Structures are given as C-alpha cells and as structure tokens.
Amino acid sequence: MKKIPKYCFALFMLASAVFATSSSVLAAVAVNWAGPSSSGVYFAGQVVNPFGNANASGIVGGSGLDLALVLDSSGSMGAVDSGKTLNQWLQEASTALVNALPAASTSVSVIDFDSSAAILQGLTPLSSGSAAVISAINAIDASGGTNIGAGIDSAAAELTGANHTAGSTQMMVVVSDGFSSGDPASSALAALGAGVDAIHTVGLPGHDAFTMQNIATSGNGIYTNASSLTSLIDLFNGTSGNLVGIDHVDITMNNGVFINDIAIDGLGNFVLPDATLALGDNVFTAVAYDTLGNSASAELILTAIPAVPEPSTYAMLGLGLLLLGWVNRRHIV
C-alpha cells in the first residue's frame, strides 16, 4: 500500500475537523440586556422581568429583533426524509422558532426562494401578527430551482427598508436543502454591508455544506447541519441547543440568587423570573458562554426610589392631620 505523505494526512485531518463541526468560526461572545431601560424610573417593591440576548457573533446592543426567515421552496424540498417532506421539516421548525421568540420585542418576515425570491410576509410584530407569520410559513411550496442569493437579497431589502424597527438587531435565518445557483456568499457579504447584523444558515439533508458554511461565514453567522427533524425543532425553539453558537447563560439576580443555565430560545433570547426591586441600586448580571468555552458578561443596574404612596394614603394622612389639629385645639381651649 502506498504511503500517504505526512503533509497530505495533516491537510486531510484539518479538512475533516472543519466539516465535522456544525458551526462557523465563532466571532466573539456577546451578551446584552434589552430591557427594561437602566435610565427608567423604578420604585422599591416594583416587580420587573429583565430580558436580554446572547450570541457568538459579537452582536452588541439592540432593543429588539427584526428577523427574516429565508426559506427554500425548491422542488427538492418535496423529498421525504424520516416520514415527512423536507418542506414539512422547514415549516414545523420555523413555526417552533416563531412561537419561542419574545413576541413583545420581535418582528418577523418570511421570504420564499426557489429560482427567484418573493416576500410572503413583510416584517410583522409578533405581538399582533404571529398568526399571519405562521400562515406565510405554511404557504411555502416545493417547486423550481435553488437561488439562495436571491432570497438573501430580498431579505436584506426588507430588513433595511421602511418596515425596520429602529434600534432592533437585524438578522436572517436561511434554511435550504440544495446546491445554489449564483454566488450566495457575495449576497451575504452585501447584506452585512447594508446593515444586517448576522445571517445564520441551516442545512437540511442533501444540502451543500460548503455553500451554507460560506454564507454563514460571510454573513457573521453560525452554520448548522440538521440531521433529524426532532433535533432541528429542538434547536429552533431552544430546548436543545440554538442557532447562535451559545452553550449556556448564567444569571445572578439582584438579590444574589444564582440561576445556572437559564432557558434561552433558538436565537439566544432569555427572560428573567419575577424580580422585586429593593431601594437603591439593583444589579443583575448575565454571563454567556459559547460552545468553545469563551465567555462575556453584562450588568443591568436598575435604581429604585422610595415607593410613591397611593392617593388613598394621602387622603388618610390628611384626615389624620385634621384630627390631630382638632384635638390640639381642644386641649388649648
């Protein structure tokens, strides 16, 4: 048997390591508090539920999320895997993601692409339009070719257009099972230049891993290879993994209670349990870890002032002062 040169073996092992992973090279861990605002007015005894986001793309800031779901509707999506069509995989997983996102601070758009692209649903606040978003997801069909770049271009136009929510993070999740025409990585790079913060990719069975990896790398995102429907849904709703490269987030509450591995959704969003504010500074700390063990932390400080008495309290106080004055007058007389 002919020996393989050592340098060839080394290159083979390096390539195997690269394509065995399910994510792009992680940029940097970031964790952010999205609300409530540290500059707000709060009262001692008030109950709040701080919320934030963690990611491994280095995205800092953002008071909410504008998300474009860029979904493959090519003919190959009609193929059956594990008893369901890939189109059904896409619909079920995308619906799970939408249902898990924080409705009060998220808007979602649905982009369909095959040989060309179409916006099935413009950016829509989930607080009032989640049903319309899910209806658009379920309208995705399976016919035509695969032009991922066209989908990314349409999504970028929607995310940076008139429907964009000022101050929100702009993100795409691209889902495909095929080999794309054109140069979708260039479209991802252009989208980043236009103001999109991250483009995450998910490859369904049969996809071109090289293309999906390149899109994510060019788009400051994470590439995921979905091997089963169950794991895909768990990934999208955050019950087992996520799309943003985060391993877990730990929280220290304002009263010192430590929460290990707080629940996060598929895009790294988390919400704290009820927290009662004490008089003075209330410090909440979040520490996020990526899948490589790197970490980042962020503090939220909410300053509470003495609670304002209810109007009825003022009335009782006034009545008490009147009675006290009357008693004093009687003593003087």
pLDDT in tens, 269-293: 999 999 999 999 999 999 999 999 9
Nearest CA among 191, 132, 198, 126 for reference residue 165: 126
Q: Provide CB contacts within 8 A for 203, sequence distance 6+.
A: 176, 177, 209, 212, 223, 224, 225, 226
Check residue 62 and give its pLDDT: 80
Q: Is the pTM of this model over 0.85?
A: no
Give yes or no for residue 325 having a pLDDT over 60.
no
Cα distance between the two ends of the chain: 122
Tell me, rounded to whole angstroms, the distance of Cα 240 from its chain centroid: 15
Q: Take residue 300 and report the two structure tokens written for it.
A: 């939220």
Class of domain 18-333: alpha beta
The whole-number average pLDDT for the span 322-326 is 52
pLDDT in tens, 106-146: 999 999 999 999 999 999 999 999 999 999 999 999 999 99
Check residue 149 and give its pLDDT: 96
**How far is the C-alpha of 82 from the C-alpha of 291, rounded, in Å?**
28
Mean per-residue pLDDT over the chain, rounded: 87
Give yes or no for residue 235 having a pLDDT over 60.
yes
Confidence of residue 323 (pLDDT cuts 50, 70, 90): low
Dihedral sign for Cα atoms in the order 240, 70, 202, 227: positive
Give yes or no for residue 24 having a pLDDT over 60.
no
Q: Take residue 6 and report the two structure tokens written for it.
A: 């050592």
Every domain of the chain and the residues it spans? 18-333
